[in-house]
Amino acid sequence: MTQLKPTQDRSNDELDRLAQLAEDVIRRARAAGASQAEVAASIDTGLNVNVRLGEVETVEHTRDRGFGLTVYFGQRKGSASTADLNADSIQATLEQACAIARYTEEDPASGLADASRMATEFPDLDLWHPWRIETDQAIALGKQIEDAGRAHAGITNSDGASVQMGESLAVYANSHGFLGRERGTRHSLSVALIAGDDDGMQRDYWYDSVRSADDFMSPQALGDKAAQRTLARMGARSLSTRQAPVLFTPDVARGLIGHLIGAVSGGALYRRASFLLDHAGKQVMPSWMNIVERPFLMRGQGSGAFDAEGVATRDSSLIESGVLARYVLGSYSARKLGLQSTGNAGGIHNMIVEPGQDDFAALLKRMGTGLVVTEVMGQGVSTVTGDYSRGAAGFWVENGQIVYPVEEITIAANLRDMYANIVAVGSDVDHRSHLLTGSILLEQMTIAGE
């Protein structure tokens, strides 16, 4: 991938300035009467280029700053934020946070995470890989990707290609004396294509997301993949209503596991708005299934040594032999539930569904006859009841072979049954996210169509 000669990296200097600012504001908050205080400060820079049909559509350079302060007066909390890091804005933000805290109700669960849980080790997880690409090079790369896709016979139009470069610097500090610094890069390429004939049109896309531009798939491969996916949808039809096995491709299966994480996360639990309430220690998936959080993956999309409250992250099972081993909690939700933080304030850190031995072709054979789902639409998922009903598109499979594309169908079941009746997880793991899974084969769902 195109790289320019290195320019001086000032990221550590920027982090030093953010750290000094954070520590200074915490001292001032304590002087103003706050019993506890925490600061999150960040600088995000990026380049986003979009091209369509060989022409430049947009070029956007970004440099966004953020500063958020939370103060606690006993168990009364006040938060304020600003995007301006000059002294006057920071002082106004401090005064606003303190004023809010003085007038809010006490909340017994509020406060910093426990001091004993703060991270003390900060390994280099290989997350910082600046991509020194100039605007004209990004435009040329976008055109190259789009041209690769448009060269396929049957591709008649394009929704455009995108090239994105991003760098993020962040500091979190609190009045326990904790100071955590993070720097990370995230870059992406994408293209969306359209195929059409007398019988209709279809659209599909593909993308790649990496920490280092050296890890991108080639522009040719990306364009080819998007074109192949788009052309494969031509001639799609609906299905009659039926019950059948369903195979979710990895990018769609990721959402299925995301619903699980949502249902076992603190906010849903302490509000008693989850179908998995009181399920810790109970069987929720087949006994061969394991899901593990791995915060220290090198170049991982969700890697980090501490969470949004400074709590040390650690390798930890979520699902162990099909049993829900724990919930997903920050300190506030943990206190509301009478439990301990799991180091998940701000989200998860590389949740990995343990892959099986079967690749995608082997999963098709194992399914025999059924539906492959490559896209889901709509918001028909209830974390409260577990009811799942979404629009879908994909392919009908017979005798382990894809026979034709399908669209305009709805797939429905209850998540509790879907999780319990997972047949297999594929070896085709998608690494483009902090939630890593292969394809997931379900025993049966209701398919509603014609």
Closest to 218 measured CA to CA, from 197, 193, 239, 189:
189
- pLDDT of res. 6: 52
**Token representation of residue 308:** 């949004």
Q: Could you give the CA distance from residue 422 to residue 413 in angstroms, rounded to a whole number?
A: 13
- pLDDT of res. 151: 98
* Phi, psi dihedrals of residue 46, rounded to the nearest 5°: -170, 170
Query: Cβ(63)–Cβ(45) under 8 Å?
Result: yes
Question: For the segment 114-125, what is each residue's pLDDT rounded down to a tens digit?
Answer: 999 999 999 999
- pLDDT of res. 132: 95
Average the pLDDT over 398-402 and give the result. 98
Number of Cβ atoms within 10 Å of the Cβ of 281 = 9
Average pLDDT value over all residues in the chain = 97
Q: Could you give the CA distance from residue 441 to residue 79 in angstroms, rounded to a whole number?
A: 45
Question: For the segment 280-293, what is each residue's pLDDT rounded down to a tens digit?
Answer: 999 999 999 999 99
**Token representation of residue 12:** 């550590």
Question: For the segment 144-153, what is each residue's pLDDT rounded down to a tens digit?
Answer: 999 999 999 9
Average the pLDDT over 131-151 and give the result. 98
Average the pLDDT over 173-200 and give the result. 96
Question: For the segment 209-264, what is each residue's pLDDT rounded down to a tens digit?
Answer: 999 999 999 999 999 999 999 999 999 999 999 999 999 999 999 999 999 999 99
Q: Could you give the CA distance from residue 45 to residue 289 in angstroms, rounded to a whole number?
A: 40
Label residue 126 by pLDDT band (50, 70, 90).
very high
Q: Could you give the CA distance from residue 425 to residue 363 in angstroms, rounded to a whole number?
A: 8
Q: Could you give the CA distance from residue 52 to residue 64 in angstroms, rounded to a whole number?
A: 26
- pLDDT of res. 320: 98
Average the pLDDT over 46-52 and give the result. 98
Where is 205: in which H helix or E strand? strand 200-210
Question: For the segment 433-445, what is each residue's pLDDT rounded down to a tens digit?
Answer: 999 999 999 999 9
Label residue 348 by pLDDT band (50, 70, 90).
very high
Q: Could you give the CA distance from residue 314 to residue 322 in angstroms, rounded to a whole number?
A: 20
- pLDDT of res. 4: 47
- pLDDT of res. 198: 84
Contacts of 86 (CB under 8 A, 6+ apart): none
Average the pLDDT over 166-177 and give the result. 98
Question: For the segment 64-102, what is each residue's pLDDT rounded down to a tens digit?
Answer: 999 999 999 999 999 999 999 999 999 999 999 999 999
Label residue 7 by pLDDT band (50, 70, 90).
low
Determine the Cα angle at 368 with ends 366 and 370, to 5°.
Answer: 115
Q: Edge to edge, what strands does the sheet with 351-353 contain?
A: 323-324, 316-320, 291-293, 351-353, 435-436
Whether residue 139 has pLDDT greater than 70? yes
Average the pLDDT over 98-114 and give the result. 96
* Phi, psi dihedrals of residue 446, rounded to the nearest 5°: -85, 130
Q: Could you give the CA distance from residue 158 to residue 147 in angstroms, rounded to a whole number?
A: 10
Average the pLDDT over 426-436 and give the result. 97
Label residue 5 by pLDDT band (50, 70, 90).
very low
